Amino acid sequence: MLFDKPDAEPDNIASVLVPVAVPGAYTYLVPPGEQVQPGTIVRVPLGTREVVGAVWDIEPDVAINPKKLKTITHIYKDARPLDANLRRFVDWVANWTLGAPGMVLRMVLRSEEALLPEAPVPGVRRIEGAEPDRMTSARQRVLATMEDGLAWTKSGLSHAAGVSGSVIDGLLHQGVLEVVSLPAALPTPPPDIDFARTNLNPAQRRAADQLIAAFDEGGSISLVDGVTGSGKTEVYFEAIAEAMRRGKQALILLPEIALTEQFLRRFEKRFGVYPAEWHSEITPKKRGRVWRGAASGDVRVVIGARSALFLPFVDLGLIIVDEEHDAAFKQDDRVPYSARDMAVVRGHISKFPVILASATPSVESRVNADLGRYRHLVLPERATGAAMPELHAIDMRHEGPERGHWIAPRLLEAIKGAYGDGAQTLLFLNRRGYAPLTLCRTCGHRFQCGHCSAWLVEHRFQKRLVCHHCGHFEKVPESCPSCGTVDSLVACGPGVERIAEEVCSKFPEARVLVLSSDLPGGPDRLRREMKIVEEGGADIVIGTQLVAKGHNFPKMRVVGVIDADLGLANGDPRAAEKTFQLLGQVTGRAGRVTGGGLGFLQTYSPDHPVISALLSSNMDDFYTAEIAARRAAGLPPFGRLAAVIVSGPDKVFADGYVRSLSRAAPRVQAVTILGPAEAALAMVRGRYRFRLLAIAPRQFDLQGYMQHWLDCGPKPTKGLRVQIDIDPQHFL
DNA sequence: AGCACGCCGACT
DNA sequence: GTCGGCGTGCTC
């Protein structure tokens, strides 16, 4: 076929990545007289609408009829083109996740406001020589405040001079002041490297020095592995200071939940200002400012949730992933990625250091450290000098509480002691509601969710039976729906509400607080209540896993884990790891500032490697045992490939399926996690050992799918997501 | 007939 | 991801 459209000469066309799930870039005509380069952000027609995309380096692989080509409708000249490293990163992530590059680009271009320059702020300035008709004391104060001749915003001026806005309006009206345009405000002023130097203890100093030395290595990874309270944050703050000294920007990634006021205040204490924030709840206006600030270099330090990893930093020189073991770094929808792994990739591409920090590192990070791929920096002691809490097992087989109670006598004694001294106790049980299972005493009927076959959990405050899997709920009935007997329903096992009931009966005078995500009032109430605990406004706190994260409770002396075995046998190959991390974080809350914390683990299996490692306070015991256990179970070596695959079109259904599967066949284990194209390919090519641990909700030929993918290239398949948890180290 | 809903394919 | 087209099935 002959295409002879003279306009479609190569210099008039451009590859544009559009934010939709198509396999590659599309071709557009560049408007006459205009110029674009790779990275230029443009608006293009796509189907019936217009979308924002970016000019890309890759050539479209299908030649299309030049007559079909549409023309770029707008070039965002005020937005800095995305640099080559960021473009490589986008391509890399797309390849890794089997996703469309356009969908990854979409994560970069998530702020529409960012693409246009911010409207200048109106301000006022003194007109040289002009005087008001009458001088009043309010006018006097305004003019005195403006002595320096600089321009002010109206609100800033009225505040500074202590007058109302109408005084300024009056002066404007008289021609004494004029309206001028002020440049838009920065999202935050630059941090001051020398604002308040921290006194580091020798271990912290050594770690900080190594992090600083890492800047000369052009891209290396450090695992900062320190017990709760060891001052990891202060140590990596020194790396941030070093990045700034070298004129580089820094990014701190935190799991969403930990984006707390508390952390921002710590940053302010060291650097004099709050860092720029980036997370899902930031307002569009601020979002635009931070995006633009990152791209222009006006913003030097960003603290954000995982999506901050896709900001277009002009000169990024450091990424810190704090609480690197946290599952919140994994995105499960749209482009499934692990921000921790992709941070490592971004650092590798741009050749700058990446720091992973945790008191309970993930097994794969520990393995990478042991193998020498990561620099391993250990902070063995609390920075304050406070001792680590003394942990004790309470063997429920021998010293458990009486029937129908859940707190063992020894733990009760400890609570009593702390309460008597005015110190706080935390009781941890990772189970919301009153009781996890309700059954009929007469006929044995068990309340089950009609959607997903999980047990319905009684929530006594709300008078409901709730499915914790799919959110389905129903009223607690008066009589058994199966045999009709009235008053025959019995609650089995404890939830936090039931523990609270027991605590209240044993300590009727104590101030008892339940911290659970499902209580009415939402995040605001939780934030308030966390603050109450922090300030000592509660004596006994009963909490689910949300007490494990982010917050620091300085007055907590005793921590009691009601059921330390919970979660150890739930069919997830990471069960031991997750439990270790959770209990490690929770028990770390004890005695963090006030010396001599006490921890109790109520357990039926005190010899389980997770429990005994926690008791020995030697974290290495856990990693050694866990690595050996996974080897023995035939799981592939870490960093090669762990696990599996599959969630179906309906994730709830898939989860329910996996649960019932592991109940029916305890040896079948399942995980759903994130993963890479290369791993899938390697799997098909037989380069890696793997074991299929879970099965898709429907009969699914994984091997066949992968082969097809190999033969025909990536093809989005409806209703299927391939998710493999693998460490990108092998592919860098 | 008229419309709500779901599935499918195209989008340069 | 988003839209339009088209089929199915149900209601005014």
pLDDT at position A467 over 60: yes
**Mean model confidence pLDDT for chain A:** 82
Mean pLDDT of A88-93: 93
> How many Å from the CA of A716 to C1' of B8?
14
pLDDT at position A402 over 80: yes
- Is the distance from CB of A569 to CB of A659 less than 8 angstroms? no
pLDDT at position A113 over 50: yes
Closest nucleotide over all strands to A46 (CA to C1'): B11
Strand B contact at CB of residue A8, distance < 7 A: no
Residue-wise pLDDT tens digits, A532-568: 998 899 999 999 998 887 677 888 999 999 999 998 8
> How many Å from the CA of A722 to C1' of C2?
23
Strand C contact at CB of residue A46, distance < 7 A: yes
- Say which residues have a Cβ less than 8 Å from residue A417's Cβ, sequence separation at least 6: A558
Q: A149-153, A469-473, A486-490: lowest mean pLDDT where?
A: A469-473
Residue-wise pLDDT tens digits, A332-343: 677 878 899 899
Predicted local confidence at residue A550, as pLDDT: 62
> How many Å from the CA of A21 to C1' of B8?
15
> How many Å from the CA of A555 to C1' of C1?
49
Strand B contact at CB of residue A56, distance < 7 A: no
Give the highest mean pLDDT range of A172-181, A182-191, A394-403.
A394-403
Predicted local confidence at residue A552, as pLDDT: 76
- CB-contacted nucleotides of strand B (7 Å): 8, 10-12
Residue-wise pLDDT tens digits, A208-246: 999 999 999 989 999 999 988 889 999 999 999 999 999
- Is the distance from CB of A543 to CB of A532 less than 8 angstroms? no
Annotated binding site of A for Zn(2+): 440, 443, 449, 452, 467, 470, 480, 483
> How many Å from the CA of A62 to C1' of B12?
10
- Is the distance from CB of A608 to CB of A565 less than 8 angstroms? yes
- Is the distance from CB of A593 to CB of A386 less than 8 angstroms? yes
Predicted local confidence at residue A211, as pLDDT: 98
Residue-wise pLDDT tens digits, A238-297: 999 999 999 999 999 999 765 678 899 999 999 999 999 999 889 998 999 999 999 999
Output the furthest CA–CA distance in chain A (Å, rounded). 95
> How many Å from the CA of A719 to C1' of C10?
28
Predicted local confidence at residue A1, as pLDDT: 37
Strand C contact at CB of residue A505, distance < 7 A: no
CA distance A40 to A313: 15
pLDDT band at A699 (very low <50, low <70, confident <90, very high): very low
pLDDT at position A396 over 60: yes
pLDDT band at A595 (very low <50, low <70, confident <90, very high): low
Strand B contact at CB of residue A22, distance < 7 A: yes
Q: Which residue has the higher pLDDT, A570 or A30?
A: A30
Q: Which residue has the higher pLDDT, A467 or A286?
A: A286
CA distance A227 to A384: 12
Predicted local confidence at residue A153, as pLDDT: 78
State what percent of residues in chain A have pLDDT above 70: 81
- Is the distance from CB of A168 to CB of A207 less than 8 angstroms? no
Helix then strand then coil, % of chain A, to nearest 5: 35, 20, 45
Strand B contact at CB of residue A186, distance < 7 A: no
- Is the distance from CB of A83 to CB of A39 less than 8 angstroms? yes
- Is the distance from CB of A249 to CB of A316 less than 8 angstroms? yes
Residue nearest to nucleotide C1 (CA to C1'): A20
Residue-wise pLDDT tens digits, A432-463: 999 998 889 999 888 887 665 568 888 888 88
> How many Å from the CA of A396 to C1' of C3?
61
Closest nucleotide over all strands to A21 (CA to C1'): C1
Strand C contact at CB of residue A21, distance < 7 A: yes
CA distance A33 to A452: 60
Q: In Å, what is the CA distance from A390 to each residue of A197, A393, A545, A553, A614?
A: 32, 10, 21, 17, 10
Predicted local confidence at residue A696, as pLDDT: 34
pLDDT band at A654 (very low <50, low <70, confident <90, very high): very low
Mean pLDDT of A613-623: 90
Closest nucleotide over all strands to A22 (CA to C1'): B11
Read off the pTM: 0.85
